[in-house]
Structure 1
Amino acid sequence: MTSAYQVHLVDTSRDHNSTTALQNLVLRTDIPKPIPGPGEALVRIRAAALNYRDLLVLVSSPFYIPTTSGISPLADGAGTIVETGPGSIWEDSIGMNVLLCANQAWIDGSDAAQYIVERTLGAANVDGTLRQYAIVADHLLVKSPKNLSHEEAASMVAAGGTAIHALTSIDIREGTTVLTQGTGGVSCFAIQYAAAMGARVIATSSSDTKLEIAKRLGATELINYNKTPQWAHEVLRLTHGRGVDLVVDVGGAGTVEQSIKCARDGGMISLVGFLTESTKTDLVPSLLFGGKTLRGIRGNSKAMLQEAVNLVEEHDLHPVMEQPFEWEDAHEAYKALKAQKFVGKLVIKV
């Protein structure tokens, strides 16, 4: 028998901030070990990483997608191939470390319509990575970076791939200027990847301590937005009035106005998240008269994850993450996710 955490929806409050929501996360130890079929591999998952959406899954929030009771949560996972089914392309790769693609639909290309929420691991009726074993179709596995541990590798599946999606909104080359916000998972990866691609990175954050982390990751200019609330003016000063080529915006309504203001004429704003409260503002004049583009970033494809893996190996990059949680401490990991006081990623050993 194997073990897995499952979401059992006994709390119907739909309030993802509810302290009772963790009652929905149940550890089962009586699950039979699965057997791979044709074109499939059996992966022993070794680490699983959390994303904000996992709080919504825990209560089947309509703000994300209704979740079936009994699924294993989490979309990000890394592990080892331990068995393969008939005709699997991985039959000679027993013992290889791999990443599980979080989305089962979007393999390649730039059309985000291929990203289907209902086919993302750990939501709706699709089992996720907070379990010891998973059957995975051959084409949904990617070799893990050779320079990373299981925990580090798991942390980059969604956040690292999404950072690549945001950055490839434009052609980044030597001299391109990128603005990042905060030190969450996507932002930390965006700093590392943009710097590795040759971009000049300007980072904003709420504290000088976090900005020092951004500097270590590759940011060259730092702005504390608590000390400089109108940080767009500082960005324009740093770029001699031109503005940046790309903004990776994770704040949403509370930051997007200044993000647009600090982008150059013809620049791009990649909208990744919405960490601030909704507010009314008129974005049309800034976008229209500046010829600027505001682009929503919806997950990532397998190809984007592969590009992230390539960058990590080529430049020996290591993700920013908190001390991994042990398997039996999964509830504590969710509490840390809810508190939102961490830097980088939260990971659970499996």
Structure 2
Amino acid sequence: MPSEYQLHGQTQYDWQDTAALANLRLNKNVPKPTNIPAGHALVRIRAAALNARDMMVVAQNPIYPGPHMQDLVPCADGAGEVETPGANSAWKKGDRVLINSNSMMDWDYSGSEPLIGYKEAAGKGASEIQGTLREYAVLPDSHLIRAPSHLSYEELAAMPAAGATAMHALFFGPRAIKPGNIVLAQGTGGVSCFVIQLAAAAGATVIATSSSDEKLQQAKALGATHLINYKTTPAWDDEVLRVTGGRGVDVVVEVAGSSTIAQSLRASRRGGLVAVVGFLSESKEQDLVIPIIMGGYTVYGVFMYTKVHTEAMTKMFEEKRLKPVIAKVFEWEDAGKAFEMLSRQSAVGKIVIKVAE
């Protein structure tokens, strides 16, 4: 019988508390789907990858919107192969695919609302939408993306959410980066590694911050030019201004949130863009209105990502022959250890769970 991981407890924890894994169980008696609707395909999932929000969901932490239904399968990212196409499916047996992490195809920027509701925008593995930490999934054709041939299933699974988020921040916000721009990437987590790779591939100069010199050397290998250890240089915004000759950067991809956004603004050039992706730090009250106005900054909330962003990122990885950074691949029975590693926030790149050979 196929198996899947399910959210089975409702106790709330801090999202970095490994005790939250008491809410997660492995169900080894899941019937294999046999009813494949028209325009859908049965996908044999080969690998799934973790994002910080997945631990927030498992922890039932209010920081990530819920409530999440009982027996929810967590995780948004995955990759596999089509096993059984339904009638009129655009896919055929054996096709290698990425699973689009949410239901959003695209939205326009003319001021209209997103084309679907919030629950769909929450993405797979949250609320009432089943995720990818399972052996089989029946998915609409539109939720699948053709996989670049040079990548393994583990590498493919690492791409959708973090890669598409980075793509959105760099190329689909108020303005796209261009060759010669200077981009600041915070840390060496999943999104930040993609930011470094994509920005460098587009001809931008990348400044990377991280908590250790070892991680910074990995950032350099991905394409970062300037490296700042924020543990030994807590005033990293001053260092950014120094290495840019007092100018500041064109774009900051802000992943920590309240604890760093004031420094991100100060590290930006006049009229610069701060693309706010994450909220990993504890919220705090501060007045940013005057700095934003006086600096002429654009602060852009990177609300999710769409299939358009994911496909654009995948195309760039294929054209440039890029490979996502994987911190570690865990076996199926060791999924709990993967979440433990995620909670420590010590990984460079993505944490992946091998679902099947």
Do Structure 1 and Structure 2 share a fold, with TM-score over 0.5?
yes
Taking the aligned partners of 2:30 and 2:331, their CA distance within structure 1 comes to: 20
Alpha-carbon contact 2:6-2:72 (below 8 Å) kept: yes
Alpha-carbon contact 2:328-2:350 (below 8 Å) kept: no
Asked whether 1:156 is paired with 2:159, we answer yes
Name the counterpart of 2:343.
Answer: 338
Name the counterpart of 1:97.
Answer: 96
Which deviations, in whole Å up to 9, do the C-alpha atoms of 1:53-98 show, x marking residues without a partner?
11121133332121000121100000001111111111xx211110
Alpha-carbon contact 1:112-1:298 (below 8 Å) kept: no
Asked whether 1:188 is paired with 2:187, we answer no
Q: CA deviation at 1:114?
A: 4.6
Alpha-carbon contact 1:106-1:116 (below 8 Å) kept: no
SS at match of 1:323: strand
Taking the aligned partners of 1:178 and 1:17, their CA distance within structure 2 comes to: 29
Name the counterpart of 1:68.
Answer: 69
Q: CA deviation at 1:112?
A: 7.9
Which deviations, in whole Å up to 9, do the C-alpha atoms of 1:226-251 show, x marking residues without a partner?
22211112211222222111001111
Name the counterpart of 1:55.
Answer: 55
Q: CA deviation at 1:334?
A: 1.1
Name the counterpart of 2:15.
Answer: 16
Q: Identity over the aligned pairs, expressed in percent? A: 49
Q: CA deviation at 1:129?
A: 0.3
Matching residue's letter, 2:317: V
Asked whether 1:198 is paired with 2:206, we answer no
Name the counterpart of 1:309.
Answer: 314
Q: CA deviation at 1:19?
A: 4.0
Q: CA deviation at 1:18?
A: 4.2
Q: CA deviation at 1:254?
A: 1.1
Matching residue's letter, 2:36: P
Equivalence map 1:202-281=2 (5 Å): 202-281=207-286
Taking the aligned partners of 2:260 and 2:330, their CA distance within structure 1 comes to: 32
Matching residue's letter, 1:96: D
SS at match of 1:98: strand
With over 3 angstroms needed to count, the CA separation of the structure-2 counterparts of 1:240 and 1:16, relative to structure 1, is closer
Which deviations, in whole Å up to 9, do the C-alpha atoms of 1:199-231 show, x marking residues without a partner?
011111111111101100001111111222111
Alpha-carbon contact 1:82-1:95 (below 8 Å) kept: yes
Aligned-pair Cα RMSD in Å:
1.6
Taking the aligned partners of 2:199 and 2:116, their CA distance within structure 1 comes to: 23
Name the counterpart of 2:80.
Answer: 79
With over 3 angstroms needed to count, the CA separation of the structure-2 counterparts of 1:36 and 1:269, relative to structure 1, is same
Matching residue's letter, 1:227: T
Which deviations, in whole Å up to 9, do the C-alpha atoms of 1:272-322 show, x marking residues without a partner?
112222233221111101111111111110010011101111111111112
Q: CA deviation at 1:117?
A: 4.7
Taking the aligned partners of 1:107 and 1:171, their CA distance within structure 2 comes to: 17
Taking the aligned partners of 2:245 and 2:12, their CA distance within structure 1 comes to: 51
Taking the aligned partners of 1:137 and 1:210, their CA distance within structure 2 comes to: 39
Which deviations, in whole Å up to 9, do the C-alpha atoms of 1:253-288 show, x marking residues without a partner?
111111101111111000111222223322111110
Alpha-carbon contact 2:42-2:83 (below 8 Å) kept: yes
Matching residue's letter, 1:269: V
Alpha-carbon contact 2:12-2:60 (below 8 Å) kept: no
Asked whether 1:46 is paired with 2:49, we answer no
Asked whether 1:126 is paired with 2:129, we answer yes
Taking the aligned partners of 1:94 and 1:195, their CA distance within structure 2 comes to: 36
SS at match of 1:324: strand
Report the TM-score when normalising by structure 1.
0.95
SS at match of 2:155: helix
Name the counterpart of 2:142.
Answer: 139
Q: CA deviation at 1:43?
A: 0.4
Matching residue's letter, 1:29: K
Alpha-carbon contact 1:162-1:300 (below 8 Å) kept: yes
Show structure 1 runs of 5+ residues with no match.
none
SS at match of 1:254: coil
Which deviations, in whole Å up to 9, do the C-alpha atoms of 1:8-33 show, x marking residues without a partner?
12x52344344432122111122111
Name the counterpart of 1:295.
Answer: 300
